[in-house]
Amino acid sequence: MALIKDEAVAIRRLDYSETSQVLAFFTREHGKQRLIAKGIKRGTKSRFATGIDLLERGSLVFSRKEESDGGLGVLTEWRQEDVFSGLRREFRWMVAGQYMAEAVDLTTEENDAAPRLYDELVRSFVALPNRDAPVLIEFQRALLIEIGLMPDLSRCVGCGRAWSGKSSPFFSAREGGLICHECEAPLVEKRRVDPSILLGLRGDRIGIEVAGEAFDLLDYHLTESLGRTLKTSPYVRQFLLGGASQVRS
Ligand SMILES: [Zn+2]
């Protein structure tokens, strides 16, 4: 069985027992991998004696899944490289990190390499304690671009007319972008967007003052596109964006 070396972030815990741990990893070169780490709690004889935490980064060696192994690959080595201790200092940054991990998990396929997205995830974990909520929205945007679902925020996707930058247009996830006032009437799935949010999302760096609404817009788009809600969304609203107003003042 060929062994593969890579680096990865643990993005989801699938199962945990006395003798093994099953985790979804987002690897840099081999995309998402569901791996079983056998003997994780076997103490001193085990290389996984302390277990693996969510949102930690490490270098790993694994073999791809075999039919006989319940559709799981096997993790044979894990060397912890970074626990992102900055991220762990505040609960709301952990919540933001968990949202990113969940979004990656829901939007990527196993074995589908996305190294740019991986690098973005790692960069975001490092940047969160310094720049707070805007980092999450910039990650949402980078994710949507990477998976080809970034909505068009520059023109009406109905008639193609460029948005003036002043009026409050509508936004439709299903249509994939802005909808002008002349095109909106027949559409059921739509919501109004404030110009400041759109201008904010166009910039390189997102300002903290639009973070809450910009998150809502991109989270709404992701939810509609995936047909499911991210479990961590309410926690982001409650803890990260609730906390953003304190940062602002
Ligand atoms: Zn239009």
Residue 218 Cα to ligand 1 midpoint, Å, equals 21
Same-domain check for residues 75 and 94: no
Same-domain check for residues 46 and 140: no
pTM assigned to the model: 0.91
Same-domain check for residues 68 and 12: yes
Supply the range of the domain harboring residue 63. Answer: 4-82
Residue 212 Cα to ligand 1 midpoint, Å, equals 27
Residue 169 Cα to ligand 1 midpoint, Å, equals 9
**What is the rounded average pLDDT for all residues in the chain?**
90
| Final residue in a domain of this structure, among 27, 52, 82 | 82
- Characterize 143-167 residue by residue with b for buried, 16 or more Cβ atoms within 10 angstroms of its Cβ, and e for exposed: bbebbebbbebeebbbeeeebeeee
For residue 33, what are its two tokens? 């991998």
Residue 190 Cα to ligand 1 midpoint, Å, equals 13
Residue 154 Cα to ligand 1 midpoint, Å, equals 12
Reported as a single tens digit per residue, the pLDDT across 220-230 is 999 999 999 99
Same-domain check for residues 144 and 58: no
| Final residue in a domain of this structure, among 54, 82, 110 | 82
> Mean per-residue pLDDT for 154-161?
97
Same-domain check for residues 119 and 42: no
Same-domain check for residues 27 and 93: no
Same-domain check for residues 77 and 91: no
Residue 174 Cα to ligand 1 midpoint, Å, equals 15
In this structure, are strands 4-16 and 20-27 parallel, antiparallel, or unpaired? Answer: antiparallel
The per-residue pLDDT for 19 is 76
> Mean per-residue pLDDT for 210-229?
96
Per-residue pLDDT for 63 more than 70? yes
Same-domain check for residues 33 and 143: no
Tell me how far CA of residue 234 lies from CA of 28, 90, 96, 108, 185, in angstroms.
28, 17, 11, 22, 30
CATH number at residue 78: 2.40.50.140
Same-domain check for residues 173 and 152: yes
Per-residue pLDDT for 51 more than 60? yes
Per-residue pLDDT for 15 more than 90? no
The per-residue pLDDT for 158 is 97
Residue 163 Cα to ligand 1 midpoint, Å, equals 9
Same-domain check for residues 76 and 158: no
Reported as a single tens digit per residue, the pLDDT across 109-124 is 999 999 999 999 999 9
Same-domain check for residues 215 and 121: yes
CATH number at residue 175: 1.20.1440.120
pLDDT level of residue 48 (50, 70, 90 thresholds): low
Residue 139 Cα to ligand 1 midpoint, Å, equals 29
Same-domain check for residues 61 and 95: no
| Final residue in a domain of this structure, among 82, 99, 125 | 82
HEC-encoded secondary structure of the chain: CCCEEEEEEEEEEEEECCCEEEEEEEECCCEEEEEEEECCCCHHHCCCCCCCCCCCEEEEEEECCCHHHCCCEEEEEEEEEECCCCHHHCHHHHHHHHHHHHHHHHHCCECCCCHHHHHHHHHHHHHHHHHCCHHHHHHHHHHHHHCCCCCEEEEECCCCCECCCCCCCEEECCCCEEECCCCCCCCCCCEECCHHHHHHHHCCCCCHHHHHHHHHHHHHHHHHHHCCCCCCHHHHHHHHHHHHHHHHC
Residue 158 Cα to ligand 1 midpoint, Å, equals 5
Crossing angle, helix 115-131 and helix 134-146, to 10 degrees?
170
Total number of domains in the chain: 2
